[in-house]
């Protein structure tokens, strides 16, 4: 029998690489969405390139990147179920094992569903609170909120 971590390593590597590529693209898009003048202003103030990104560009880009990152966190939770196909026992796998042991299919998968929902709800609530905290008034209007002058 292979060691229990032998299927864990490829699953973590695959999910990690897949997610890191998607997050890197979101960060790149967030930085590119800022006006070029922001970077130029930092350099004109005498900041180095690193200081400009750390103190001027990235704090602004973070506010733009945060909503897609929320979706990415949700995708990681959902994609971990896909890891089951390569042998990683996670929540769905545990529910399947539980129902095979106890013959209580409904209870096992109801418990798994509730845990998935609670996990996703906690992530969404925390990310909304973070988005609200870093929001710049007037920069990005909330979806469905009435706009000034309309």
The average confidence (pLDDT) of the chain is 77
| Placement of tokens 């979806």 in the chain | 143
**pLDDT at residue 144 in the model:** 43
Spatial separation of the C-alpha atoms in residues 16 and 65, rounded to whole Å: 19
Residue 7's pLDDT band, with cuts at 50, 70 and 90, is low
Cα 101 → chain centroid: 34
**pLDDT at residue 143 in the model:** 43
Mean pLDDT score, 74-88: 67
Domain boundaries 4-134, CATH class? mainly alpha
Question: Does residue 85 surpass a pLDDT of 60?
Answer: no
Question: Does residue 28 surpass a pLDDT of 90?
Answer: yes
- The percent of residues in the chain predicted with pLDDT above 90, rounded, is 17
Q: Are 77 and 113 in contact (CB under 8 A)?
A: no
Question: Does residue 140 surpass a pLDDT of 90?
Answer: no
């Amino acid at each position: 029998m292979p060691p229990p971590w032998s299927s864990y390593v490829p699953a973590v590597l695959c999910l990690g690489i897949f997610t890191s590529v998607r997050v890197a693209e979101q960060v790149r898009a967030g930085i590119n969405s800022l006006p070029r003048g922001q970077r130029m202003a930092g350099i004109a103030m005498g900041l180095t390139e690193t200081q400009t990104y750390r103190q001027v560009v990235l704090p602004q880009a973070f506010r733009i990147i945060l909503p897609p990152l929320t979706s990415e966190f949700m995708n990681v939770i959902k994609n971990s179920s896909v890891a089951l196909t390569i042998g990683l026992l996670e929540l769905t796998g545990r529910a399947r094992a539980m129902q095979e042991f106890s013959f209580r299919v409904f209870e096992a998968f109801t418990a798994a569903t509730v845990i998935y929902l609670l996990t996703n709800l906690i992530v969404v609530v925390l990310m909304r609170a973070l988005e609200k905290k870093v929001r710049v008034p007037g920069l990005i209007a909330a979806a469905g909120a009435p706009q000034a002058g309309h």
